[in-house]
């Protein structure tokens, strides 16, 4: 798949529009299709504004911006993508919708075209099984905003041809992205490993260990994270974050590690979805900034306040444990897991490197303390962590 290979994008929302920009910037003739023609028109207008802004800021020559926009072709019908060598869908996270869509795509493109899903948590294998040739179906999970964030998770399904996996890794590198390969398991790397950043923070809030601003400040000022968990949930959208958490929890047969929070469920029920609705864990003004008079969340005043260092340590060891378990289960390599968390969600450092710095024995001791205190399997240490401590090993 060189630059002459046409690329098709199905879904003209934020993700589809961003992926189209990435493909066209890399030099590919790019088709953008949506079942709603007005969505394609809106996306093309938005892309034109984005490229114009880049020109005005001196980040892109005017001629290049025109060339990029000229390579993106609005498609009124899916069959206009018949000559594409790669088709990427970026539609709603619904397995039934995606399976039906892939059947439609397969009927309209050539037999050698690679069919990719941008799913963030659904099974690539299950999507591919809807096709007569599942070996050409693969996951290419871009992160939002796609033109800016470098990470792409490359997820082969059970039936995916290894040659397509290798070709997609090479193509993403050619597009200037940082590809990582991972098994087709719930949440892949990032959405699996990152669950405790949200879940354990919500648990601390539920227990009255700290209020929302305190937890956010602790994770930023002590932990070094770019955003606090509640700010980030509001940015992502509480509906989206809750849906991903539920999907991962259910897909892991209700493993308590991934159990959703009642607090987030209630926010979704109230339609307090975050910045996009003007209210979530915080209230937002007309410019999307946090209202200084924002309420402290649904849990009220902390009744057993914890110091920021305790908050950070508890969330961090849970994140580290997930990363270690991903290595243990062969989800991805050590280096790809650390790269994914640094590039996909802007963690201050790779979690496995962080584990070495904290000391694996200290991480194990904290997890065992939490497991003893709560008596829950949620806090069970990874078998790999136990073995590495026993044998005196480190990750780096």
pLDDT surpasses 70 at 299: no
Q: How far apart are CA 391 and CA 337, in angstroms?
A: 22
When divided into structural domains, the chain yields a total of 2
pLDDT surpasses 90 at 292: no
**Pair of tokens at residue 241:** 């974050």
Choose one of 154, 181, 208: the last residue of a domain.
181
| Same-domain pairing of 233 and 136 | no
Strands (E), 20-136: 30-33, 72-75, 86-89, 114-117
Choose one of 181, 201, 224: the last residue of a domain.
181
Choose one of 127, 152, 181: the last residue of a domain.
181
| Same-domain pairing of 266 and 208 | yes
| Same-domain pairing of 195 and 153 | no
Look up the pTM and report it.
0.94
Query: Buried b vs exposed e over 75-87: b needs ≥16 C-beta within 10 Å?
Result: beebebbeebbbb
Q: What is the pLDDT averaged over residues 258-267?
A: 96
pLDDT for res 1 = 86
Q: How far apart are CA 285 and CA 278, in angstroms?
A: 7
Mean pLDDT score across all residues of the chain: 95
Q: What is the pLDDT averaged over residues 365-374?
A: 97
Region of poorest pLDDT, from 144-153, 177-186, 275-284, 289-298: 289-298
**Contact indicator for 327, 334 with CB cutoff of 8 Å:** yes
Catalytic residue among 141, 238, 261, 382: 141
144 is catalytic: no
Q: What is the pLDDT of residues 210-257, one digit of tens each?
A: 999 999 999 999 999 999 999 999 999 999 999 999 999 999 999 999
| Same-domain pairing of 166 and 232 | no
pLDDT for res 185 = 96
Asked if residue 345 belongs to a domain, the reply is yes
| Same-domain pairing of 360 and 211 | yes
206 is catalytic: no
pLDDT for res 386 = 98
Q: How far apart are CA 366 and CA 353, in angstroms?
A: 17
| Same-domain pairing of 166 and 217 | no
| Same-domain pairing of 167 and 272 | no
Q: How far apart are CA 349 and CA 262, in angstroms?
A: 30
How confident is residue 78, by pLDDT bands cut at 50, 70 and 90? Answer: very high
| Same-domain pairing of 352 and 241 | yes
pLDDT for res 11 = 97
Catalytic residue among 118, 120, 121, 201: 120
C-alpha R_g of the chain: 22
pLDDT for res 300 = 53
Asked if residue 40 belongs to a domain, the reply is yes
Asked if residue 1 belongs to a domain, the reply is no
Q: How far apart are CA 25 and CA 231, in angstroms?
A: 31
Q: What is the pLDDT of residues 9-64, one digit of tens each?
A: 999 999 999 999 999 999 999 999 999 999 999 999 999 999 999 999 999 999 99
Report phi then psi at 284, rounded to 5: -125, 145
**Pair of tokens at residue 28:** 């590919």
Diameter of the chain measured on Cα atoms: 63
120 is catalytic: yes
Q: What is the pLDDT averaged over residues 75-94?
A: 96
| Same-domain pairing of 166 and 196 | no
- Give the N- to C-terminal CA distance of the chain in Å, as an integer: 35
| Same-domain pairing of 328 and 371 | yes
How confident is residue 387, by pLDDT bands cut at 50, 70 and 90? Answer: very high
Q: How far apart are CA 259 and CA 377, in angstroms?
A: 11
pLDDT for res 293 = 73
Asked if residue 377 belongs to a domain, the reply is yes
Residues 6+ positions from 21 with CB-CB distance below 8 Å = 47, 50, 51, 68, 72, 146, 147
pLDDT for res 295 = 61
Paired strand residues for 298:
none
pLDDT surpasses 70 at 74: yes
pLDDT surpasses 90 at 298: no
Asked if residue 305 belongs to a domain, the reply is yes
CATH value at residue 127: 3.40.50.720
Domain hosting residue 320, numbered range: 190-396
**Pair of tokens at residue 378:** 């949620």
Asked if residue 2 belongs to a domain, the reply is no
Q: What is the pLDDT of residues 300-354, one digit of tens each?
A: 556 677 899 999 999 999 999 999 999 999 999 999 999 999 999 999 999 999 9
| Same-domain pairing of 252 and 356 | yes
Q: What percent of the chain has pLDDT over 90?
A: 93
CATH value at residue 281: 1.10.1040.50
Q: How far apart are CA 73 and CA 48, in angstroms?
A: 12
Asked if residue 131 belongs to a domain, the reply is yes
392 φψ region: left (φ > 0), alpha (ψ -120 to 50), beta (else): left
Q: How far apart are CA 393 and CA 12, in angstroms?
A: 48
Catalytic residue among 153, 200, 322, 366: 153
| Same-domain pairing of 272 and 393 | yes
Q: What is the pLDDT averaged over residues 148-162?
A: 97
Catalytic residue among 191, 238, 261, 321: 191
141 is catalytic: yes
Asked if residue 48 belongs to a domain, the reply is yes
pLDDT for res 301 = 57
pLDDT for res 306 = 81
Element (DSSP H or E) covering residue 156: strand 151-156
Paired strand residues for 73:
31
How confident is residue 287, by pLDDT bands cut at 50, 70 and 90? Answer: confident
């Amino acid at each position: 798949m060189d630059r002459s290979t046409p690329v098709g994008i199905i879904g003209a929302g934020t993700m589809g529009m961003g992926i189209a920009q990435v493909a066209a910037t890399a030099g590919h003739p790019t088709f953008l299709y949506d079942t709603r023609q007005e969505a394609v028109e809106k996306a093309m207008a938005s892309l034109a504004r984005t490229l114009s802004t880049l020109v005005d800021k001196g980040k892109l020559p005017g001629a290049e911006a025109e060339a990029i926009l000229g390579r993106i072709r609005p498609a009124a019908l899916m069959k206009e993508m018949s000559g594409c060598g790669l088709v990427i869908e970026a539609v709603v996270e619904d397995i039934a919708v995606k399976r039906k869509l892939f059947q439609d795509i397969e009927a309209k493109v050539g037999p050698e075209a690679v069919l990719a899903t941008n799913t963030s948590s659904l099974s690539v294998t299950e999507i591919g099984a809807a096709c007569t040739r599942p070996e050409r179906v693969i996951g290419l999970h871009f992160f939002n905003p796609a033109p800016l964030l470098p990470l792409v998770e490359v997820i082969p399904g059970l039936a995916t041809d290894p040659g397509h996996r290798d070709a997609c890794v090479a193509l993403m590198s050619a597009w200037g992205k940082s590809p990582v390969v991972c098994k087709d398991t719930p949440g892949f790397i990032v959405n699996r490993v990152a669950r405790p950043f949200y879940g354990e923070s919500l648990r601390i809030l539920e227990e009255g260990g700290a209020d929302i601003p305190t937890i956010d400040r602790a994770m930023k000022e002590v932990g070094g994270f770019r955003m606090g968990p509640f700010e980030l949930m509001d940015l992502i959208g509480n509906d989206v974050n809750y849906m991903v958490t539920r999907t991962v929890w259910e897909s892991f047969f209700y493993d308590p590690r991934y159990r959703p929070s009642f607090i987030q469920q209630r926010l979704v029920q109230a339609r307090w979805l975050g910045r996009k609705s003007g209210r979530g864990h915080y209230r937002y003004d007309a410019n999307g900034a946090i209202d200084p008079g924002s309420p402290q969340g649904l849990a009220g005043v902390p009744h057993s306040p914890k110091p920021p260092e305790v908050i950070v340590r508890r969330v961090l060891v849970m994140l580290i444990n997930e990363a270690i378990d991903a290595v243990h289960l062969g989800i991805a390599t050590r280096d790809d897991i650390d790269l994914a968390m640094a590039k996909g969600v802007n963690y201050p450092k790779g979690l496995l490197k962080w584990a070495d710095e904290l000391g694996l024995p200290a991480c194990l001791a904290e997890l065992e303390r939490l497991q003893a205190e709560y008596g829950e399997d949620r806090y069970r240490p990874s078998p790999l962590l136990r073995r590495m401590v026993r044998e005196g090993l480190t990750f780096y």
